[in-house]
Chain A
Amino acid sequence: MNRHFRQLAVACAAAFSLAAHAQLSIEVTGAGANRIPVTIADFGGEPGVARALTSVVRGDLERSGMFSLVEQSQSPLTEASTIDFAAARGRGADAVAAGSIGGGGDGRYESRFRLFDVNKQEQIAGAAFVTGVPQLRAAGHRIADVIYEKLTGEPGVFSTRIAYVVKAGPGRYELQIADADGQNAQAALISREPIISPAWSPDGGRLAYVSFENKKPVIYVHSLASGKRVVVANFKGSNSAPAWSPDGRRLAVVLTKDGGSQIFTINADGSGVQRLASSGAIDTEPQFSHDGQHIYFTSDRGGSPQIYRIGVSGGEVQRVTFEGSYNVTPRLSPDGRTMAFISRREGAFRLAVMDLASRQVQVLTNSFKDESPSFAPNGRMVLIATEVGGRGVLSAVSVDGRIRQRLSVAAGDVREPAWGPFQK
């Protein structure tokens, strides 16, 4: 199954005409096994904005791979309508969402909707969001989140943001922030030199990353709203691989100041640097466990790069991966049960997940060059960088491997994705 959402994306971008360039376009391949049939009725109200709002909600739900959209059985159909449940059931819908958009006189719109269970014939959710025109998309994402959560039982991630790096040409790198649907992309940092390893602070307000603008890797923490940047680590040698502690106070980083690539922890303002462990080998790519008690990392101490785990104050080191000769970039799911990582299989670098309790490993892709996995905050999808036709694209893969979305930028190489946290 192959669905193209480019037209939709273009229509929405035109409708809201934000000053966004180099939009990510999303293509979905594959879908969940048991998709929930749902009707998202055309929103009532001022036609232009209503149509755009409807597109955002439908696009979010369909791209998630968890829903199949069912045509509405009555028209018009808004939150004020009396739902003809028999007709909806006749179309095969399990749920119907109906709403409208009102106001607009003072530049503010109210997007209202209700969600109905067709079989129980009752309302199961409803909400209203007041926004200005530029945030209408955000209202659509909020509505999609409510519908997603009510029908699947887990929170939606449509209102979250992603960060990634676009190599827009020789000597032009942009660290961009976009909505989870790839729209509304904005550059947080533009540089002539590479930018790698962006990592969201747990509150979603800051990004830690490695910038080469001083001809060597230096770690910054960048506040997105103000653009204020703090140099967290610029020691002699290389400074890289920042990872936030769950409380957002400290970072695990890799420094070479004392020889070799070794893991340290440091306060987010650059103070209080402490060495975590000592090895004669490469130790890199640290990542805190969700409870903050452990740090997972990549090390070649056993002769090939493998993933290990150590207590947050040091202590005994446990090896986590054993299959194959190249397992790197550990990333932990928000519930702490699953680890995504990159595994070399048959000479190709592929996304794999490990169930940490059973140590069972599943390879999720058959790509050639997967990199930089990052979990969605609800843990359902993993965002990775991969390569198609020699060009870097982003791909989101569900943890069961069934649903895949590809995000690409028309005129650039996209890499180093990081999925942001839920918005507070």
Chain B
Amino acid sequence: MKKLIVPVLLAVLLGACSSSPDTGAEQTGAPVESRSSDGVKTVTAGDVGGTKLPAILTDPKSILSKRSVYFDYDRFDIKPEFKDLVAAHAKFLVDNRQFKMLIQGHTDERGSREYNLALGQKRADAIKKAMLLLGVREDQIESVSLGEEKPSCIEQSESCWSKNRRGDMLYAGEF
């Protein structure tokens, strides 16, 4: 029995190793690729640039500067203390139809990543539903989940987990 493992043309691959992104020019999310050995090509995912938002959305004195709704463990209903915040953002979106919002749902780290992604979606959906009832248009709003992937607090304690069970309301340009 004789088998051949075809050798990869390593020199050729290494020659293409050092492609780095151009600086200066705007990077609009085009992937950056580079080669490493043995036939696996490295892809770098691009990033999205930011834009300016009106002061009313960012002024710390404005309720609209607050973006997070926090949830209890295994719960997906908006607690009374967050109803005003959701209503204020809904009113802003109704008054400013050109604005679009992305709601990102989050969970704490316990359990399966994919199941947590689904739980985070339920939180984002709860906020979205409340806003639709308050007159926001379906095409202004998207609810998605980041599951347990983007915790705002990383200790393993209930006080930390409670900060991670949240929905973040972000305007186009903020995400």
Contact = CB atoms under 8 A, between A and B. Distances in A.
A418 interface: no
Residue of B1, B36, B48, B119 ringed by the most chain A CB atoms within 10 A: B36
Contact of A215 (B46, B147, B175): B175
Interface string A231-246: 0000011101100000
Contact of B145 (A142, A226, A238): A238
Contact of A254 (B29, B36, B114): B114
Contact of B41 (A131, A135, A225, A260): A225
Interface residues of B, number: 51
B16 to A, nearest CB: 11
B111 A328 contact: yes
Contacts of B121: 237-238, 256, 260-261
B25 interface: no
B113 A371 contact: yes
B108 interface: no
B77 to A, nearest CB: 16
Interface stretch (B4-12, B51-59, B79-87, B158-166): B4-12
B45 A190 contact: yes
Given A194-B150, A215-B175, A222-B43, A18 B37 contact: yes
B114 A190 contact: no
Contact of A135 (B8, B17, B114, B115): B8
Interface in B38-67: 38-48
Given A186-B37, A194-B149, A284-B118, A213 B10 contact: no
B48 A215 contact: yes
Q: Which of B5, B17, B47, B145: most chain A CB closer than 10 A?
A: B5
B6 to A, nearest CB: 8
Contacts of B118: 254, 261, 282, 284
Contact of A285 (B2, B38, B39, B114): B114
A369 B110 CA distance: 8
A329 B112 contact: yes
A236 B144 CA distance: 8
How big is chain A's contact interface, by range?
Answer: 35 or more
B123 to A, nearest CB: 12
A79 B150 CA distance: 56
Contacts of A224: 39-41
A345 interface: no
A284 to B, nearest CB: 5
Contact of B36 (A187, A226, A305): A187
Nearest to B47: A192
Contacts of B36: 19, 186-187
A19 B38 CA distance: 10
Nearest to B14: A19
Contacts of A282: 115, 118-119, 122
B1 A127 contact: yes
B161 to A, nearest CB: 13
A211 B45 contact: yes
A37 interface: no
B43 A227 contact: yes
B146 interface: yes
A364 interface: no
A402 B172 CA distance: 52
Contacts of A191: 44-45
A6 to B, nearest CB: 23
A142 B1 CA distance: 12
A416 B156 CA distance: 20
A225 B8 CA distance: 11
A189 interface: yes
Interface string A207-236: 000011111110000101111010000001
B90 to A, nearest CB: 19
For the complex of A and B, the 5 pairs showing the least CB-CB separation, nearest first, are: A227-B41, A132-B7, A213-B45, A216-B144, A261-B118
Interface of A: 18-19, 107-108, 126-132, 134-135, 138-139, 142, 177, 184, 186-194, 196-197, 211-217, 222, 224-227, 229, 236-238, 240-241, 254, 256, 259-261, 282, 284-285, 298, 305, 326, 328-329, 342, 344, 349, 369, 371-372, 390, 416
Interface of B: 1-5, 7-8, 10, 14, 17, 29, 31, 33, 35-48, 102, 104, 110-115, 117-119, 121-122, 125, 142-147, 149-150, 156, 175
23 contacts: A128-B2, A139-B5, A187-B42, A188-B42, A190-B42, A190-B43, A196-B113, A196-B149, A212-B150, A216-B102, A216-B144, A229-B43, A237-B144, A256-B143, A256-B144, A260-B125, A261-B118, A298-B115, A326-B111, A328-B112, A329-B112, A371-B112, A371-B113
Given A188-B42, A194-B149, 6 more contacts: A129-B3, A132-B10, A184-B38, A217-B145, A217-B147, A372-B113
